[in-house]
Chain A
Amino acid sequence: MKKNENLLWIGMLTTLLIITNSSCEKEDPLPVTPPSTTGISIGIGDGVFITNEGNYLGGNAKVSFYNFSDGTAVEDLFSSTNSLPLGDICQSMTLINGKEYIVVNNSGKIEVCNPSNLLRAATITGFTSPRFIVSVSASKAYVSDYISNSISIVNLVNNTRTGSFPFPGASEAMVLVGNDVFVSSINRDKVYVINSTTDLIVDSIPVAMGGNSLQLDGNGNLWVLCYGDYVTSSPGGLYRINTSTHGVELSLPFTTAESPTKLCANNAGDTLYYLNYSVYRCPITTIALPTLPIITATTQSFYGLGIRPLNGEIYVTDAIDYAQRGKLLRYTPSGTLLDTELVGIIPGGIYFY
């Protein structure tokens, strides 16, 4: 009887185990490896590059490419062409002398690539925390830096970093006007003017803290967008600067709760756009900040912004949860959604080629 009882227990147990184990679910599907893109050939006006920061220390920075003609996107063009990861935090890319200079912030390098397929031609190393690059002549460029309180100098002929000069804070966006480079800073309340021959700071223009983007307009004036400073509760602002006199001609403050970023303009340079949770635009003749957005964000997390030079279409990216592929959203110039495509993680920069 004891033996039968034991057998009964064993039987019940086995049945229980079989039932529970067979209810295991299907495995999660694996992502499909995209095909190699070494053979792809991108021409001028074919599409737009999107730089994706990736997660800090996650090593998943990418450059995506959206093709205008068929509306498809290559999520990771650099890796699928070069069979190598791009690095950690891709901050920006700039077209200089027919090559794309891709700044990879936390890998301390700039990848110099052929724009037709992003095949790597050279790598410039030696930076601490590079953010943006601007060419000041055919053979020289400046690279701004987040940590080192300096700006690096790059020789564009042999693509090497040749040195640096001190800068009073974190350097961010840079614009060349004539022989001067205007540099914004996210932890200083000034825009600095640097003589690109002497590499010396010749002037500083007072604005708000958090100067994150610069944009020249069709009249040759320089616009600066600042997001303020959380710690001191100082508000940001939109400023128009005369590049000859270095005077601030217009000063439009935001509230302390707002944090505007990604100032850009259309091809004609007569309309400005920026992100402030939603997408806003205003003419360069404006005397006040726009009150209503052109594209209203509902549940999205808009992160990048760009205006297609050809037709004024608005391109916005949504970073979603900052841990998955973001989305590129394409709108008509008046703000009607046309289509969406998946790009990389935390898509921050939109660069039309």
Chain B
Amino acid sequence: MKGRYQRVNKSEDLPYECASVASGRSCSVEVDFAISALVFLVDVCCIDPGCDHCIMNIRKEIKFYFIFLVFLQIPFLYGQDSIVKNIEYDIISINSFRNSFVNQGLLIEKPDSIQRSRNEVGTLTDLFVQNGLFFIKSYGCGNLATTSIRGASASQTPLLWNGLNLQSPTNGTVDLSLVPAILCDVITIQNGGGSAGWGSGAIGGLIQANNVELFNAGLKLKYIGTLGSFGEAQNGIKISSGNSKCYADVRVYLQQSKNNFTFRNLGIANFPLDTLENSTFNQKGAQAQVGWRTKNGRHSFVLRAWYQKTDREIPPSMLEINNLARQQDEFFRSMGSWKINYSKISMELKSAVLTEFMDFYQSVNLPNSLTHAVSFINSVDCRIPISKSLITNFGIVANSSRADVTQYVPVTIQNRVSAFTAFQFIPNEKLNFVLNFRAEEVQAKLLPLVGSVAGEWKGNKFLMFKTSLSRNYRIPTFNDLYWRPGGNANLKPEDSWNADGSVVVNIEKNHFLINYFFTAYFRQTKNWIQWRPTVGNSTIWSPENLLEVWSKGLEHHLKADWYFNKLKINLNLAYNYVRARNEKSKDINDLSVGKQLVYVPTHYSYGMIQFTYRNFYLSYAHQFNGLRFTASDHSTYLPAYDLATVTIGKRVDYKIYYFDVFFRTVNLFNEEYQAMSWRPMPGRYFQIGLTINCNKPNTKNK
């Protein structure tokens, strides 16, 4: 990829556009690592024919904006796939500068463009499960699905939407089935603690789902639809329009599925074939965003609003009789952000209101359980370059949450304020250090200070070493604190130390690209909250700071691309080894001490190979989920299982349109498995998808 472009020494006021935009065409861009004297070189190159300028010296002004891209392993996200001519968005102005400070030293993963384009509709559950990014604890199609990064619990990995934590204040989890993939322009997964940077909850890892700014994106229309077995229909429409001053973007989606698949019921004699009942899934929603900026680009604003309603029937397990349970989740999330950008100081002021409502119906004799929560979040985030090699970032976040669960949690208000600061020190082109601190006060009570120290060292042209040490925490949820009966208002936050070390290898030649990274980590979490029957009253359960969990593991990830004339081969291999054990108990008879936690597989691996020839593509993905114990003393377990997925498709370009059709077989070998005990999972099933895309670039002169 180097040497294909003509370097242009052209200085721009606005670092956000490809040079060709100035001539009035929106440009497809490729981002390329250029390793030379200045470490943080990123080439943003336009690849449309006749549009072959590189904004090379833009990097001087923008290098700090790009720091996070460096550590995001750009090559295997953008450096491939020359067939994808139009990247959907202006990738440069993606995110807050917080990322450059908090992602240091940790490995950041992103589903690449191939993975994203195969799962543009559906939910994050579909995206993560089919692209094998990490082990997901899923109760089945459309049902509750939560992350389990490095053996952490569901509430120890926040999901941030444009910097806002979507974890519910009541139970602290994010249900991945309630986050539609169509809204997430850029998804980043951070393995390892991030509380110093992002606050409570980031013990196991952190997922970010962000929207990008669409200045100068032109007019884009996109329809994505899939039809699948068991009555699955997913539809999404994206319409956006952007010029140099402002942009607007609307997305509407509707996804549903009957999930009435057949399975062998292993709970009944002779294992008869049974059909899953009470299992429909219905989700609809819309997101709108409007952004604008001043002529000189010093001030930019964005407003976003997102509404969604999901109705789910909850199917019984193979041994359960109740087939009436259902749940409705509804929320409205809105935010506004003002970014101020001067060379001496940059700031982002953000304000958000997140509301959610959940109605859970179990049976005709029990009252519905209704959950309401509202959070008001206001933050100020400031970045000041102090000198050529030292940058500081600091800010404050204020969060006021009000929640209740009818009959169980009375209306309660919780106020939190946290202040954070970070320093990034770049002594030379090979080294980079970041120090992060955060202090949080919850209900006027100061929590222990957390922080992280991280460093990166560029060994040579193709080798980089990263390391990070951090202290992270998670505050108890409303349910933990205020549930009646049993809530424990004296709970302490979970407290964790995390150490990571990684090696990144990046080799790039004319016809192939290899990225390999290897991480070893170690984590200790104390005061891990668990619900147990209270001492002296076994009928009432109460949470306590009970466990002390030691985890350690290894992660390997290899991505490789080869180009031969018109044939392209992409390879993606990953392997995670996780040991997570409880080391403490107060009961002398407890046999769980020193044993792997339940539902945490020791081995997990994923492999995908994709062939692209002209505009046809064929991919095969294979996922191995290791054995998981289901009792804390390892007296029962669920066996390991494999899932294979094959996709074939074709892309057709026609003027400003392109069409993409694919056909997919999921669970190719019809494997019978259980992800959670006694929860039926579908055998082989099929999907067919169509994407219609229309891009009309911005034709106005800047």
In contact, A147 and B365 (Cβ under 8 angstroms): yes
Assembly CA distance A127 to B363 (angstroms): 13
B interface, CB within 8 angstroms of A: 266-269, 317-322, 363, 365-366, 459-463, 484-486, 503, 505, 518, 520, 530, 532-533, 535-540, 554, 577, 579, 585-592, 595-596, 598, 602, 627, 629-637, 677-678
In contact, A31 and B635 (Cβ under 8 angstroms): yes
Main secondary structure of the interface of B (DSSP, over half): loop
17 CB contacts below 8 A, A to B, read: A6-B460, A6-B461, A9-B460, A13-B463, A31-B637, A57-B317, A109-B321, A212-B539, A230-B484, A230-B537, A299-B587, A301-B587, A322-B532, A323-B632, A324-B591, A324-B592, A324-B635
Within 8 A of B (CB), among A28-60: 28-31, 57-60
In contact, B319 and A277 (Cβ under 8 angstroms): no
In contact, B536 and A257 (Cβ under 8 angstroms): yes
In contact, A321 and B536 (Cβ under 8 angstroms): no
**Which of A9, A149, A212, A324 makes the CB contact (< 8 A) with B463?**
A9
Interface status of A338 (Cβ within 8 A of chain B): no
Residue of B nearest to A323 (CB): B632
Spot the interface stretch: A15-23, A132-140, A216-224, A266-274. Answer: A15-23
Residue of A nearest to B553 (CB): A24
Residue of A nearest to B268 (CB): A84
Contact with B along A145-184 (1 / 0, CB 8 A): 0011100000000000000000000000000000000000
Across the A-B interface, give the 7 residue pairs with the lowest CB-CB distance, nearest first: A108-B321, A259-B537, A324-B633, A230-B485, A277-B536, A59-B678, A59-B319
Residues of B within 8 Å of A128, CB to CB, are 321, 363, 365
Assembly CA distance A146 to B677 (angstroms): 24
Contact with B along A283-302 (1 / 0, CB 8 A): 00000000000000011110
In contact, B592 and A323 (Cβ under 8 angstroms): yes
Assembly CA distance A17 to B465 (angstroms): 13
Given the interface contacts A57-B320, A148-B365, A303-B538, does A327 sit within 8 Å of B589 by beta carbon? yes
Interface status of A213 (Cβ within 8 A of chain B): no
Residues of A within 8 Å of B629, CB to CB, are 28
**Which of A227, A319, A345 makes the CB contact (< 8 A) with B537?**
A227
Residue of A nearest to B271 (CB): A84
Assembly CA distance A107 to B320 (angstroms): 5
Residues of A within 8 Å of B484, CB to CB, are 230-231
A interface, CB within 8 angstroms of B: 5-6, 9, 13, 16-17, 20-21, 24-25, 27-31, 57-60, 75, 82, 84-85, 87-88, 106-109, 125, 127-128, 147-149, 210, 212, 227, 230-231, 257-259, 261, 276-277, 298-301, 303, 318-325, 327, 340, 345
Assembly CA distance A58 to B637 (angstroms): 12
Assembly CA distance A84 to B577 (angstroms): 33
Given the interface contacts A231-B485, A259-B536, does A59 sit within 8 Å of B267 by beta carbon? yes
In contact, A30 and B637 (Cβ under 8 angstroms): yes
Residue of A nearest to B532 (CB): A322
**Which of B267, B503, B530, B533 makes the CB contact (< 8 A) with A87?**
B267
Assembly CA distance A29 to B596 (angstroms): 11
Residues of B within 8 Å of A325, CB to CB, are 591, 631, 633, 635
Residue of B nearest to A56 (CB): B320
Assembly CA distance A130 to B317 (angstroms): 18
Residues of A within 8 Å of B678, CB to CB, are 57-59, 85, 88
> Taking the nearest CB of chain A, how far is it from the CB of B274, in angstroms?
14
**Which of B267, B579, B587 makes the CB contact (< 8 A) with A84?**
B267
**Which of B321, B462, B486, B595 makes the CB contact (< 8 A) with A28?**
B595
> Taking the nearest CB of chain A, how far is it from the CB of B675, in angstroms?
14
Assembly CA distance A31 to B634 (angstroms): 7
Residue of B nearest to A170 (CB): B365
Given contacts A30-B627, A59-B317, A107-B321, 16 further A-B contacts (CB under 8 A): A16-B503, A24-B554, A25-B579, A30-B634, A59-B320, A84-B269, A88-B319, A108-B322, A147-B365, A147-B366, A149-B365, A230-B486, A258-B536, A299-B586, A300-B587, A324-B631
Assembly CA distance A6 to B590 (angstroms): 52
Assembly CA distance A39 to B321 (angstroms): 31
In contact, A259 and B503 (Cβ under 8 angstroms): no
In contact, A318 and B317 (Cβ under 8 angstroms): no
Residue of A nearest to B519 (CB): A20
**Which of A24, A88, A320 makes the CB contact (< 8 A) with B317?**
A88
Assembly CA distance A327 to B590 (angstroms): 10
> Taking the nearest CB of chain B, how far is it from the CB of A130, in angstroms?
10
In contact, A323 and B554 (Cβ under 8 angstroms): no
In contact, A276 and B485 (Cβ under 8 angstroms): no
In contact, B320 and A106 (Cβ under 8 angstroms): yes
In contact, B587 and A318 (Cβ under 8 angstroms): yes
Residues of A within 8 Å of B587, CB to CB, are 299-301, 318, 320-321
Residues of A within 8 Å of B631, CB to CB, are 60, 323-325, 345
Assembly CA distance A127 to B530 (angstroms): 32
In contact, B321 and A301 (Cβ under 8 angstroms): no
> Taking the nearest CB of chain B, how far is it from the CB of A60, in angstroms?
6
**Which of A148, A210, A301, A324 makes the CB contact (< 8 A) with B538?**
A301
Residues of B within 8 Å of A58, CB to CB, are 630, 677-678
Assembly CA distance A261 to B533 (angstroms): 13
Assembly CA distance A181 to B343 (angstroms): 84
In contact, A107 and B319 (Cβ under 8 angstroms): yes
Residues of B within 8 Å of A231, CB to CB, are 484-485
Assembly CA distance A81 to B99 (angstroms): 58
Given the interface contacts A13-B463, A301-B587, does A60 sit within 8 Å of B363 by beta carbon? no
In contact, B317 and A321 (Cβ under 8 angstroms): no
Assembly CA distance A13 to B507 (angstroms): 14
In contact, A299 and B588 (Cβ under 8 angstroms): yes
In contact, A322 and B267 (Cβ under 8 angstroms): no
Assembly CA distance A283 to B409 (angstroms): 42
> Taking the nearest CB of chain A, how far is it from the CB of B406, in angstroms?
13
Assembly CA distance A82 to B318 (angstroms): 17
In contact, B598 and A87 (Cβ under 8 angstroms): no
Residues of A within 8 Å of B591, CB to CB, are 320, 324-325
**Which of A59, A127, A276, A322 makes the CB contact (< 8 A) with B677?**
A59
In contact, B365 and A24 (Cβ under 8 angstroms): no
Residue of A nearest to B579 (CB): A25
Residue of B nearest to A304 (CB): B538
**Which of A30, A85, A277, A322 makes the CB contact (< 8 A) with B535?**
A277
Residues of B within 8 Å of A5, CB to CB, are 460
**Which of B365, B530, B540 makes the CB contact (< 8 A) with A230?**
B540
Given the interface contacts A106-B321, A128-B365, does A301 sit within 8 Å of B535 by beta carbon? yes
Residues of B within 8 Å of A345, CB to CB, are 631
Assembly CA distance A212 to B636 (angstroms): 31
In contact, A261 and B539 (Cβ under 8 angstroms): yes
> Taking the nearest CB of chain B, how far is it from the CB of A105, in angstroms?
9
Assembly CA distance A303 to B539 (angstroms): 10
Assembly CA distance A95 to B554 (angstroms): 54
Assembly CA distance A215 to B311 (angstroms): 47
Residue of A nearest to B596 (CB): A28
In contact, B318 and A59 (Cβ under 8 angstroms): yes
Interface centre among B269, B518, B631, B632 (most CB of A within 10 A): B631
Residues of A within 8 Å of B588, CB to CB, are 298-300
> Taking the nearest CB of chain B, how far is it from the CB of A222, in angstroms?
22
Residues of A within 8 Å of B318, CB to CB, are 59
> Taking the nearest CB of chain B, how far is it from the CB of A229, in angstroms?
9
Residue of A nearest to B267 (CB): A85
Assembly CA distance A327 to B463 (angstroms): 54
Residue of A nearest to B546 (CB): A321
Residues of A within 8 Å of B365, CB to CB, are 128, 147-149
In contact, A31 and B586 (Cβ under 8 angstroms): no
Residues of A within 8 Å of B586, CB to CB, are 299
> Taking the nearest CB of chain B, how far is it from the CB of A324, in angstroms?
3
Residues of B within 8 Å of A299, CB to CB, are 586-588
In contact, B538 and A319 (Cβ under 8 angstroms): yes
Interface centre among B366, B461, B533 (most CB of A within 10 A): B533
Given the interface contacts A60-B630, A107-B319, A327-B589, does A259 sit within 8 Å of B602 by beta carbon? no
Assembly CA distance A200 to B647 (angstroms): 64
Assembly CA distance A318 to B590 (angstroms): 10
